Amino acid sequence: MDIKTKYDLGQLVYLITDSEQLDRMITGIKVNPNGLVYTLAQGVNETYHFEIELSSRRNIVKALGINEN
């Protein structure tokens, strides 16, 4: 089986909903019937997210607390 992923292990990514835009490292990728689930580490915390929640670019506007509208 060959699985293509948008993001790679060890890559730094950002959660698009994170108001602080903290960088997180991809430490795991799990395949399940609903798609891929990425394990993200930020400090000592690990969280699990779908690809649609991630971005490879930091949203500086959101990090500064500026309303985009």
What is the per-residue DSSP string for 8-41? -TT-EEEETT-TT---EEEEEEEEETTEEEEEEE
What pLDDT is recorded for position 65? 86
As to burial, measured by CB atoms within 10 angstroms (0-12 exposed, 13-18 middle, 19+ buried), residue 13 is buried
The reported pLDDT for the residue numbered 68 is: 65
**Structure confidence by residue, pLDDT tens digits, 6-24:** 999 999 999 999 999 999 9
Residue 27 confidence (pLDDT): 98
Counting as low any pLDDT under 70, the low residues of the chain are 68-69
For position 41, what pLDDT does the model report? 98
pLDDT for the residue numbered 69: 65
Say what the pLDDT of residue 8 is: 97
